[in-house]
């Protein structure tokens, strides 16, 4: 279940309808797509996945990709696997924990672990959305946002692309506000 928190505040929202209402003016959608067990369960239990195991996990989740291809026209997908011992974790966290936009939509289906997306609302308030397994988030192009891992520093997320080649971040100068630890 996703949780939304406002900057500089202990205010936390867990009601999905209320979260959807807050994020709707930005065009952000959040859905729940249960992660099916079966072939994926053993792969999801592993903290690290080599290239072959990543392909196997993506294949096990093909029903979601095929549905999203039909509905949204996604062309490709990949899998992000981050864990505390990942050799590039500090660099990746620093790269995406800065305010940025993309020319294309950003779409993630969290299949294991947790991550945190941050957004600037229309009134300038900043919020962070903690997502976990089963959460599917769609961020339209040009929406100012950031991403970071939480203290567990572990996530497996399928990224879907409508254009080949992925996303290029366009960093903005807006400062991130302070978010108290939950």
Query: Residues marked as binding for Ni(2+)?
Result: 100, 102, 106, 145
Binding-site members are: 100, 102, 106, 145
Sequence ranges of the binding site for Fe(2+): 100, 102, 106, 145
HSE-CB for 64 with a 13 A CA cutoff: 26
């Amino acid at each position: 279940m996703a949780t939304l928190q406002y900057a500089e505040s202990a205010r936390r929202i867990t009601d999905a309808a209320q979260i959807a209402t807050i994020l709707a003016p930005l065009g952000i959608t959040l859905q729940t797509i249960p992660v099916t067990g079966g072939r994926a369960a053993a792969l999801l239990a592993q903290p690290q996945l080599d290239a072959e195991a990543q392909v196997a996990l993506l294949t096990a989740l093909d029903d979601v990709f095929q549905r999203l291809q039909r509905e949204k026209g996604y062309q490709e997908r990949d899998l992000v696997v981050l864990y505390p011992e990942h050799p590039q974790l500090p660099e990746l966290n620093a790269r995406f924990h800065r305010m940025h936009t993309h020319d294309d939509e950003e779409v993630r289906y969290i299949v294991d672990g947790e991550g945190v997306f941050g957004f600037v609302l229309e009134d300038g308030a900043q919020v962070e959305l903690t997502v976990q397994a089963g959460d599917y988030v769609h961020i339209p192009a040009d929406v100012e946002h950031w991403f970071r891992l939480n203290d567990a520093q572990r996530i497996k997320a399928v990224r879907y692309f409508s254009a080949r080649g992925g996303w290029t971040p366009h960093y903005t100068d807006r400062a991130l506000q302070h978010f108290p630890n939950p």
